[in-house]
Amino acid sequence: MIPQTGPLVSPAQMPPVDQDAALGLAAFQAMDRMREALGGQLTGGISPGSLALAGFDWAFHLAQAPGKRSELLWKAGRKTGRLMAWLMSSAIDPNAPPAIQPLPGDARFRHPGWRQMPFSAFAQAFLLGQQWLHNVTHEVPGMMKHHEDVVSFAARQWLDMLSPSNNPWTNPEILARTRDTGGMNLWQGWLNWAEDAARLLNRQPPVGTDAFRPGETVAVTPGTVVFRNRLIELIQYAPATDQVRPEPVLIVPAWIMKYYILDLSPENSLIRWLVAQGFTVFAMSWRNPDARDRDLTLDDYRRLGVMAALDAVQAIVPDARVHAAGYCLGGTLLAIAAAAMGQAAGARLASLTLLAAQVDFTEPGELALFIDASQMHFLDSMMWNRGYLSDDQMAGAFQLLRSNDLVWSRMVREYLMGQRAPMTDLMAWNADSTRMPWRMHAEYLQRLYLDNELAAGRFMVEGRPAALQNIRVPIFAVGTERDHVAPWTSVFKIHQFTDAEVTFALTSGGHNAGIVSQPGHPGRRYRIGTRPRDGALLSAADWLARHEAAEGSWWPAWAAWLGARSGPPGPVPATGAPDQGCPPLGDAPGSYVFQR
């Protein structure tokens, strides 16, 4: 007989709940939350406690490491010697090779003026100092890795701010332009700054984004909204061929941004291109939540998002399995939904495509800098106060990750050089972000980033673990070489969590540009390889060494992969299914995409 377990006392014997004490405790907690929420407005959402803990960890362990301090002094002497030797060589030969080269991707010192004295000396001193500061903040004995990353990040922010390229008196390009324009560049820069400040105060989008309005110049692929609930609109795109594959494609975008990253201008729209290949394509458009949606959960996003869309697609195209594709966070949510379906996934899904999407968060990229217990509590208080995480907080975090490119270089170009960078469809989309509900985002950060429940097999859905090992349909995963949000080595880890057939493609570019990589785009390349079902697992390094890069876009390879797992082309399905609760509700791109 299985012994019965239960409370040691009966409910009648249990002491009554002290309502006054509970209300008092809630009031005390609210005081802390309000203080943190107000403090977050001054710190840009960065937890002072997180920075202080990292700084103390670094300072304490450096103080306890005489060997490390001696090493730093020795390296400072060596770098000073290298600088002095280079200065002497340059005095004799102005074309003497530099003592140090900028890091790959650092374009601050490309102008020819940086090769002339005294500007070359400014640049060389800065780059050597940058290298030494890297030594200062790394490999301090006993220091926690996360704290090392935070301290290094904070030091890099200060160093980038102090770069000679940001100073009009030490930047030869700014001085030359000021001379050539008679100082009008500085006047134009002032006007640019005033315009940007006014737009920021009035919560208007950046200059030039008005030229990229959904439904007019972007997100113009013909289609119809065929389903709507409180969280999503589902768009069914009009066919571009006389016959289509019987298996439709369902695209699950990230809820952090508007869906049309995959339907930008006609020439670089993945959705338009996929329709032209003979597929029936559906795409979800997420609603922009507000304070009224504060209690939406991560499981609500699964149920009202992925599962509701899948039900609608199969109502419109009955008796057909679906090629499901998820981008970024949408891919993570799609993987959770597929894992939660268990054995039923094979009956509903023909394949699973994960575009720059992670299922393991042990290496989550540079966003991990903003994710620890202190930062999590700070963000939670800010979201609790507003009911959501605002778009400006998210934009600020992403800009800090690439402050050299997205903050300082832009300020130099637009405010000191007086030159506006032309707006592009991708830049305009990037400025069109969405909010995230408090409870959902708190769960997402805690359960996936901090606790890594999905990879550990502890992510529960409806009382059962959503085990990735239950995904048995073929998987196509795409990583991008310069992804700072979802590093390709992290995306590659899908191999470790399933015995299904996995085709992995590694493409050039970053998190967005690597996915929006249309055929004919110059300079694109990709590698691709398939691990058969139950095949041997390679490390990311071994996989990279074994697969040669091919020129061009990865899109045709994906379309061929989908085609090989689809039936022969047949009749075009009807638009919507009114008798199944999916009537046509209006033209694409729908209404949710316009919510601010």
State the pLDDT at residue 76: 95
Residue 306 and residue 175 in one domain:
no
Angle at 326 between CA 323 and CA 328, to 5 degrees: 165
Q: Give the pLDDT band (50/70/90) at residue 367.
A: confident
Q: How far apart are CA 467 and CA 342, in angstroms?
A: 8
* Position 65 pLDDT exceeds 80: yes
Across residues 7-14, what is the average pLDDT? Answer: 45
**Quick one: CA torsion of 395, 398, 404, 408, rounded to 10 degrees?**
10
Longest CA–CA span in the chain (Å) reads 95
Q: Which of 5-9, 121-125, 250-254 has the lowest mean pLDDT?
A: 5-9
25 within a domain of the structure (yes/no): no
Residue-wise pLDDT for 334-360, tens only, equals 999 999 998 778 889 999 999 999 999
Final residue belonging to a domain, choices 120, 150, 181: 181
Across residues 575-596, what is the average pLDDT? Answer: 94
Of 571, 383, 333, 357, which is closest to residue 483 (Cα–Cα)?
357
Residue 152 and residue 292 in one domain:
no
Residue-wise pLDDT for 443-480, tens only, equals 888 899 888 999 999 999 998 999 999 999 999 999 99
The mean pLDDT of the chain is: 88
207 within a domain of the structure (yes/no): no
Q: How far apart are CA 202 and CA 463, in angstroms?
A: 46
Q: Categorise residue 365: left if φ over 0, alpha if ψ from -120 to 50, beta otherwise.
A: left
Residue 363 and residue 299 in one domain:
yes
Q: How far apart are CA 525 and CA 39, in angstroms?
A: 45
State the pLDDT at residue 6: 39
State the pLDDT at residue 193: 92
Percent of all residues in the chain with a pLDDT value above 90, rounded to a whole number: 63
Long-range CB contact pairs, 565-570, < 8 A, 24+: 565/247, 565/323, 565/350, 565/351, 565/474, 566/245, 566/246, 566/247, 566/323, 566/350, 567/245, 567/246, 567/247, 568/245, 568/246, 569/241, 569/243, 569/244, 569/245, 569/278, 570/243, 570/244, 570/245, 570/246
For tokens 């640049």, the residue is: 123
Helix (H) or strand (E) segment spanning residue 560: helix 555-564
State the pLDDT at residue 192: 93
State the pLDDT at residue 10: 45
More confident call, 373 vs 562: 562
3-state secondary structure 506-541: EECCCCCCCCCCCCCCCCCEEEEEEECCCCCCCCHH
Angle at 114 between CA 108 and CA 120, to 5 degrees: 115
User: In this structure, what CATH number is given to the domain that contains residue 357?
Assistant: 3.40.50.1820
Final residue belonging to a domain, choices 181, 200, 231: 181
More confident call, 15 vs 316: 316
Residue 173 and residue 231 in one domain:
no
Strands (E), 249-335: 249-252, 281-286, 322-327
State the pLDDT at residue 9: 43
Q: How far apart are CA 23 and CA 7, in angstroms?
A: 26
Helices assigned H by DSSP within 293-403: 298-300, 308-316, 329-341, 345-348, 373-386, 391-401, 403
| Strand 232-237 versus strand 249-252 pairing type | unpaired
Final residue belonging to a domain, choices 120, 152, 181: 181
State the pLDDT at residue 172: 95
Residue 501 and residue 553 in one domain:
yes
Strands (E), 378-493: 388-389, 436-437, 460-461, 464-465, 475-480
Residue 111 and residue 251 in one domain:
no
Q: Give the pLDDT band (50/70/90) at residue 296.
A: very high
- DSSP-derived secondary structure letter, 433: B
Residue 177 and residue 227 in one domain:
no
Residue 471 and residue 328 in one domain:
yes
Q: Give the pLDDT band (50/70/90) at residue 41.
A: low
* Position 1 pLDDT exceeds 50: no
What is the Cα 461 distance to its own chain's centre?
24
Residue 255 and residue 166 in one domain:
no
Domains in the chain: how many in total? Answer: 2
Who's near 92: CB < 8 A, 6+ residues apart?
none
Angle at 518 between CA 254 and CA 511, to 5 degrees: 40
**Residue 484 near residue 149, CB atoms below 8 Å:** no
Residue-wise pLDDT for 497-543, tens only, equals 998 999 999 999 999 999 999 999 888 999 999 999 988 899 999 99
320 within a domain of the structure (yes/no): yes
Residues forming the active site: 328
Residue 235 and residue 170 in one domain:
no
What is the Cα 417 distance to its own chain's centre?
30
**Residue 428 near residue 188, CB atoms below 8 Å:** no
* Position 393 pLDDT exceeds 90: no
* Position 396 pLDDT exceeds 60: no
Residue 247 and residue 157 in one domain:
no
State the pLDDT at residue 200: 81
Q: How far apart are CA 444 and CA 305, in angstroms?
A: 15
195 within a domain of the structure (yes/no): no
197 within a domain of the structure (yes/no): no
State the pLDDT at residue 528: 97
582 within a domain of the structure (yes/no): yes
State the pLDDT at residue 3: 37
State the pLDDT at residue 479: 96
Residue 105 and residue 251 in one domain:
no
424 within a domain of the structure (yes/no): no
Residue-wise pLDDT for 187-240, tens only, equals 999 999 999 899 888 888 888 888 999 999 999 999 999 999 999 999 999 999
DSSP 159-209: HHHT-GGG-TTT-HHHHHHHHHHTTHHHHHHHHHHHHHHHHHHTTPPPTTG
411 within a domain of the structure (yes/no): no
Residue-wise pLDDT for 81-104, tens only, equals 999 999 999 988 888 899 999 988
Percent of all residues in the chain with a pLDDT value above 70, rounded to a whole number: 89
DSSP 5-53: ---SS-GGGSPPP-HHHHHHHHHHHHHHHHHHHHHHHHHTT--HHHHHH
* Position 587 pLDDT exceeds 50: yes
Of 1, 571, 590, which is closest to residue 243 (Cα–Cα)?
571
Q: What Rg, from alpha-carbon coordinates, does the chain have?
A: 27
Q: How far apart are CA 522 and CA 524, in angstroms?
A: 6
Residue-wise pLDDT for 479-498, tens only, equals 999 988 899 999 999 999 99
State the pLDDT at residue 449: 85
More confident call, 37 vs 253: 253
Q: Which domain holds residue 68?
A: 50-181
